[in-house]
Amino acid sequence: MIVGIGTAVRAAARRCPFDSFRPRNPLIAGHAVDRLAAAAAGRILTHRERDKLYHSWPRPCSAGAFKYGTAAFLYSACSSTSRSEENGQGENGGDGAIDGVKTTNLESSLRKNNFSEAYSAIELALDSVVKIFTLSSSPNYFLPWVNKVDRESTGSGFVIPGKRILTNAHVVADHIFVLVRKHGSSTKYKAEVQAVGHECDLAILVVEDEKFWEDINPLELGDVPFLQEAVAVVGYPQGGDNISVTKGVVSRVEPTQYVHGASQLLAIQIDAAINPGNSGGPAIMGDKVVGVAFQNLSGAENIGYIIPVPVIRHFIAGVEESGNYVGFCSMGLSCQPVKNVHLRNYFRMGPECTGVLVTKINPLSDAYRMLRIDDIILSFDGVPIANDGTITFRNNERITFDHLVSMKKPNETAEVRVLRNGEEIQFCIRLFPYLFTNV
C-alpha cells in the first residue's frame, strides 16, 4: 500500500475535502495520517514506513505536503473500501477486507440505525398528536357586562389512555367550542373539555365521535429525564399547518413560575424552540412522553419549558379520583433562607442545624394554627431542608422543598419539624390547594 503512490496521491489530494489536512496545518494532518492508516490497514504506520513514504515522494516536497497527500490517499482508500462493502464487492473475495483485515463503514451504520430508531419512535407518536382549534371569548374586566371579541387560536395535544386528549389549559381557556384534527386527516371533530387545571396549565379533552378513535394509539408517560438527555417536541407551531418536530436537550430541572397559573411548580428547561401553537404538544424521549410543552422564556432564544411527568400524573390522578381538578397543595407560608451566621446564632441554630425562617403565614391555612412567625422549618415529611430552602432531588441536583409540598394531595397531612426558641417541635399539618393558601 506504500509503493508507487505518486499519481494516486496527487489525484486523491485534489479530491480531499478536509481542511485540516492542508499543509498549513501539518500537525493535525500528521495525526490524520495515523487515524486514516488505522482505518484503512487496521494498524498505525510505523516510523520506518512513514519515512519510506516521505523519501518516495518526488522532490521538492515539504513535510506538510507529504502529510496532506498521504492523508488524502488513505482517505480515498477508505472511501473506496467502504463503497465496495456497501455494494458487497470487497477487494479480497468480496468481503470488503484490506490486507486481510475486514473493515466496516461504522459511521454510516450508526447513522442509519440512530435515524431509523429515532424516526420509528417519532413516527408512532405522530398519529397520537392532534391539532386543536379553539374559539374563545375572554371576559372584559373594564366592561364586565360584555365579553371581548371572539378569538380563534390553535394549539397541540396528544392522546392518553382512556380515550382522552391532554393539552394545556391556556389552549382552551375561555373556550366557546373546541375542535380537534388528527395527523394526516382533514376532518375536524368536536371535543368537550372534561377538566382544566389553570394552576398547572393542563387540560383534558374528550371526543364522543368513535370515528376519531379509529387507528389511534395512546402515548404512555415516562420518567423525568436527566440533564443533557435528548427530547423531541412534537406539535403544530405557527408558521405552517403541518406537524412539526423540534429536538433539544434537557438543560435544567427545577420549580419554575408557570405564567398561565402564576404558580411555582416543577418544570423542565430544554434548548428546543417552543413557539405559539406548540403548547400542549408532547415532549418525547424514546417511545415515552416526558413532558408537555407549555411556555418559553421571553427575550431569550431556544429556551423552552415542558411540564414534567410528576405534575402530569398528579393532575390526571386528581381528575380520575374526584372527577374534577383538585389542585396542588401549599403550606400557605412565606420563608427566607437562613445562611447568615449571625441570624443563625440569634435563632439558636447549632452548626449541624439547617432550615428556613417563617416570615408570613396565611390565616386560611392549617399552619396558621400551629406555626408561628420566626419558626425555623427543619424538615418536611422527614426530608431535611437546607439553609437555602432546597432538598436533595437526585444525584447532585437540588430543588426547593416546595416541590414536596405541591406533590401532596389536598387534605393530606405532612409531618413538619420546626425549631422554636431553641427547641425542636414536630407538627402534623393538613395541606390545602394552592389557590386557597397562597400568600
CA separation for the pair 390, 386 (Å, rounded): 5
Cell reading at 283: 415532549
181 bridge partner residues: 131, 188
- Annotated catalytic residue 279: yes
Taking a C-beta distance cutoff of 8 angstroms, is the pair 291, 306 a contact? yes
Question: What number of helices (H) and strands (E) belong to the chain?
Answer: 9, 25
Farthest CA pair distance, the chain: 95
Which residue among the candidates 128, 136, 156, 170 is catalytic per the annotation? 170
CA separation for the pair 32, 336 (Å, rounded): 58
Cell reading at 273: 424552540
Taking a C-beta distance cutoff of 8 angstroms, is the pair 307, 202 a contact? yes
Q: Look-up: residue for cell 425555623?
A: 376
Three-state DSSP at 33 gives helix
Which residue among the candidates 263, 279, 365, 406 is catalytic per the annotation? 279
The residue type found at 59 is R
CA separation for the pair 102, 88 (Å, rounded): 13
All residues at 6 or more sequence positions from 155 whose CB lies less than 8 Å from its CB, including other chains: 131, 132, 134, 167, 168, 171, 172, 235, 236, 277, 279, 280
Cell reading at 251: 438543560
Three-state DSSP at 81 gives helix
The residue type found at 197 is G
- Annotated catalytic residue 170: yes
333 bridge partner residues: 361
Number of Cβ atoms within 10 Å of the Cβ of 100: 8
- Annotated catalytic residue 215: no
Which residue among the candidates 84, 201, 244, 330 is catalytic per the annotation? 201
All residues at 6 or more sequence positions from 335 whose CB lies less than 8 Å from its CB, including other chains: 356, 357, 358, 359, 377, 389
**Could you say which DSSP state residue 205 is in?**
E
Of 311, 223, 334, the C-alpha closest to 261 is 311
Helix (H) or strand (E) holding 27, with range, is helix 26-41
- CA 300 to chain CA centroid, nearest Å: 17
| Active-site amino acid positions | 170, 201, 279
